Structure 1
Amino acid sequence: MNYEHPLVSVITPTYNRPEYLKQALTSAVNQTYQNIEIIVSDNCSPENPQAIVESFNDPRIRFYRNSSNLGMLVNTIQAFKHAHGKYVASLLDDDMWEPDYLAKMVPLLEENSDIALAFCDHYVMNASGEIDMAATNKCTQAYKRHNLKQGIHQPFVEHALINQSACPAVAAVVRREIVNWDEFTNEIAGMWDVYLSYICCRGGKGAYYYPERLTRYREHEQTDTMQSGNRNAEAKIRKAKSEIYCYGKFIQDQSLAEFHPLFKQKWLHAHTTLAIGLMRSQQVQQARSYLKSALFQQKFNLRTLVALGISFAPKKLANHLLGTF
């Protein structure tokens, strides 16, 4: 292939994961695509990871440390704002890349100037770094990548926001010039990668899908997906609030009118999820308001109706029943 080798900014926000961070950075510095800058932004970890970063003795790494914890979103977006590259790629501190990840992604962007991002499939690994093929295949199917054809998809709203096949947090390289990082407000929170997909796909922009698994996503007890699965009320509330905000924004975007009914479903589903989280944290009255709002705005939803019924059950019984959600 004949293409330039533009600078790629590797964005690594981190907090209190020194061993994982070392593995993530190792996978970055070992990329066969060499023209990179690696931006590590530490969110005031109890143990300063500067020594880990300096141990690589790699001038391509730039290290920033916040004087106080700014929250996950602010730390992440702040790191993106430090980027100088033509392209940006997120490498979270608990994930890893295959050595040829950037070497295979960058040419796709260079040869197709009308696409906003290039994305691929990824492995799922456990806390110890071992690839879990059952979880990997399940993830590929859950996000509809198993039937997704290689090549340009334009527009790609369905892949970005409905199926969420493209995941900028884990396995995508983005054209930096199309993103205004000031758009990211605190309400977006953990949905920042979906919101980044929104920015990339709105207006009919395209994306290139490369079906090979070139990155590794780590599942462990500190991830929000695992916490939500373990019925952690705080994580559920946090996730639902960010979904309500983001899907509300998508509903307001008339360029996405074709998908508004699907966004409305997800928006209402998030209301019920938030209510369930609130009930688990004993905020029953507030939970009922979200459930009633969701019921009034849809014809019928069994999950919402059952949750509302549970809110009137005795506390002990309600706590038992909530365990089924």
Structure 2
Amino acid sequence: MISVCMATYNGEKYISDQIASILGQLESCDELIIVDDCSSDSTIEIIESFLDPRIKIHVNETNIGVIRSFSRAIEASEGEYIFLSDQDDVWMPNKVRISLLELKKGFNLVVSDAYILQNDTIALSTFFEIRKSGPGILKNYFKNTFIGCCIAFDRVHLDKILPFPDGVSMHDFWIGEIISIYGKVSFLPDRLIVYRRHENNVTALSSGSVTSIIRKRYIDFKYTSARIFRVGLAKYA
């Protein structure tokens, strides 16, 4: 069983194309869990118009942000494999199949490359090329290349991932780092989504200032260390 977890917020412009590209790859037993963070546009109406029982909608009572919304979606998931999805991209028709093949080789997390669509034009460089993506705990501490919309992972280390710390810099960084510590990670060169860039993107392609990166990574290091300590205590309890 596959669980696709999506967080939405005022996504009416692109969400229909994204949902259609996902549902076409899912089996009848799979699920698309959508947590909406108090959208004020027609996002919910568009989602409901699909009339698909695989879609499970959870609407937040108050705006809790993208990290906590993804946390809620993952907590509600039941599938053996979890795919994260943004509301405004498009999945390539082979995304699920290729990602599953890699996960079934024994990897706990797969990060695939992506085409970048900006101003209705596909960029010459891919996400991996721009971000110099690749595995490595220290590498991704200094420059996160675990992009959420390109991630799929199994449930093996879910007890270590959840709950997300309240102050962690981003959910994809946290998932990638925790699984890198305890499991096996694969960076696939296959371009499995069209990653849409526009004025409302949460994730930036470029890194922030050195000061902001150091501050974020210091906080992330504290949370990671605390989680490792907690996991260690639980193991010997």
CA distance in 1, matches of 2:214, 2:48: 38
Q: Is it true that 1:44 corresponds to 2:38 in the alignment? A: yes
Q: How many Å separate the matches in 2 of 1:75 and 1:221?
A: 21
Bigger strand share: 2
More helix as a share of residues: 1
State the Cα distance separating 1:58 from its structure 2 match.
1.5
Aligned to 2:190: 212
1:171 to 150, 162, 179: 150
Structure 1: distance between partners of 2:204 and 2:22: 25
- Tell me which of 44, 59, 62 is aligned to 1:65: 59
Alignment pair present for 1:56 and 2:47:
no
- What letter is aligned with 1:179? L
User: What's the CA shift for 1:42?
Assistant: 0.6
Q: 1:106 aligns with which of 100, 103, 123?
A: 100
Structure-1-length-normalised TM-score: 0.61
Structure 2 residue matching 1:16: 3-state secondary structure: coil
Q: 1:246-285 alignment to 2 at 5 Å? A: 246-250=220-224
Identity of aligned residues (%): 22
- Structure 1 segments unaligned to the other structure (5+ residues): 1-6, 256-325
Alignment pair present for 1:144 and 2:136: no
Q: What amino acid sits opposite 1:133 in the alignment?
A: A
Q: SS of the counterpart of 2:17?
A: helix
Q: Larger C-alpha radius of gyration, 1 or 2? A: 1
Q: Which has the higher contact order (CA 8 A, sep 6+)?
A: 2
- What TM-score results when the alignment is normalised by the length of structure 2? 0.81
* Counterpart contact for 1:117–1:206, Cα < 8 Å: yes
Tell me which of 83, 92, 96 is aligned to 1:89: 83
Instruction: Say whether the 8 Å CA contact 1:144–1:163 is kept in structure 2.
Output: no
Unaligned runs of 5+ in 2: 230-237
Distance 1:23 1:89 in 2: 17
| 1:46 aligned counterpart, secondary structure | coil
Q: Hey, what does 1:133 align to over in structure 2?
A: 123
- Aligned partner letter, 1:117: L
Shift in CA distance, 8/216, structure 1 to aligned 2, threshold 3 Å: same
**Contact (CA 8 Å) 1:105, 1:173: kept in 2 or not?**
yes
Distance 1:216 1:200, change over 3 A: same
Q: Give the paired residue count.
A: 227
Contact 1:122 1:171 in 2 (8 A): yes
CA RMSD in angstroms comes to 3.1
**What corresponds to 2:110 in structure 1?**
118
- For 2:156, what is the secondary structure of its paired residue? helix
